[in-house]
Copies of this chain bind each other. A is one copy, B any other.
Amino acid sequence: MTPPPPPIGVFDSGVGGLTVAAAIRRILPGEDIFYVGDTARVPYGGKSRPTVERYSLEIARWLLEEKAKTIVVACNTASALAVPRLQSECPVPVQGVVAPGAAAAVASTRNGRVGVIGTRATIASGAYERSIRELDGGIRVHSVPCPLLVPLIEEGLFEDKITDMVLHRYLAPLLGSGIDTLVLGCTHYPLLRGAIARQAGPGVRLVDSAENCALAVRDLLQKRQLSAPPERTGTLRVALTDETEGFLRTAAQALALPVGQVSVRPLGAPGPQTQADKTFGL
């Protein structure tokens, strides 16, 4: 019996990054995925760079213990704040969501006006703006932090008057400045795609960072000859740092992503981190 090929390691502050895991499964069905959601410390969107770097490095260490062949940062905040540090300290390639999203936005815009929505930390970092302008210095980037969207999504209010009202307030200045492309700069946001598209109207293309990140992972694995044999069927394992109810189920249903046993391991706990993992079913 040949051992299974090493997995792709994917992490997010919580379970929003399952949108990236779902996209990787669609595009690379032969790959095994080991997913870590840092639900004990979620959300990252309002936290500082040193804290987000520290959390990201801790999780990367865990993914490397699981023999991850590449680390996918399926969280825009961690991508915006921690990717350089992860790249310099990890022995495997690290793929964030910001660079692929920025490239897709540059490819999409016709009028050179791009909007970006994300958490407070992502927008404050200026990461999308920098990535987009590195590719095309003539593009004007309009960014708006949308801190209420993650809580609304975690409550499952995908189609709701309250969500529409919040979206209207966040998107009005972007739409007023004539953007033709809008980057969904948070891995939770694809779950609001319908509501965002309705408000943005047919003249605005939505760039989904999850989808573009999965395509970048495919290219990276091919280039480095790390792809799993195409004939096999990959697995998805999910581990969390705290038991969470509700949203994991919501996300798995909304994404039609079958998640079986979920293991829980506290990170940053006092004492050795080899304590027995706990598992719970979904």
Chain A residues within CB distance 8 Å of chain B: 39-42, 46-48, 50-51, 54, 58, 120, 147-148, 151-152, 154-155, 161-162, 165-166, 169, 242-244, 246, 266, 268-270
Contacts and interface: CB of A to CB of B under 8 A. Distances in A.
21 contacts: A39-B47, A40-B41, A40-B51, A42-B46, A46-B244, A46-B246, A48-B242, A48-B243, A51-B242, A51-B266, A54-B266, A54-B269, A54-B270, A58-B270, A120-B246, A147-B155, A148-B148, A148-B155, A162-B165, A162-B169, A268-B269
Contacts of A54: 266, 269-270
Nearest to A151: B151
Looking at A46, A162, A242, the one whose CB has the most chain B CB atoms below 10 A away is: A46
A163 to B, nearest CB: 10
A62 B14 CA distance: 27
Contacts of A161: 165
A223 B165 CA distance: 51
Number of this chain's copies in the assembly equals: 2
A227 B243 CA distance: 41
Contacts of A169: 162
A162 B149 CA distance: 13
A148 B149 CA distance: 10
Nearest to A61: B270
A19 to B, nearest CB: 19
A153 to B, nearest CB: 11
Contact of A162 (B58, B154, B162, B243): B162
Looking at A48, A58, A162, the one whose CB has the most chain B CB atoms below 10 A away is: A48
A58 B269 CA distance: 10
A246 to B, nearest CB: 8
Contacts of A269: 54, 268
A192 B47 CA distance: 24
Contacts of A166: 162
Nearest to A247: B46
A155 B150 CA distance: 13
Contacts of A270: 54, 58, 268
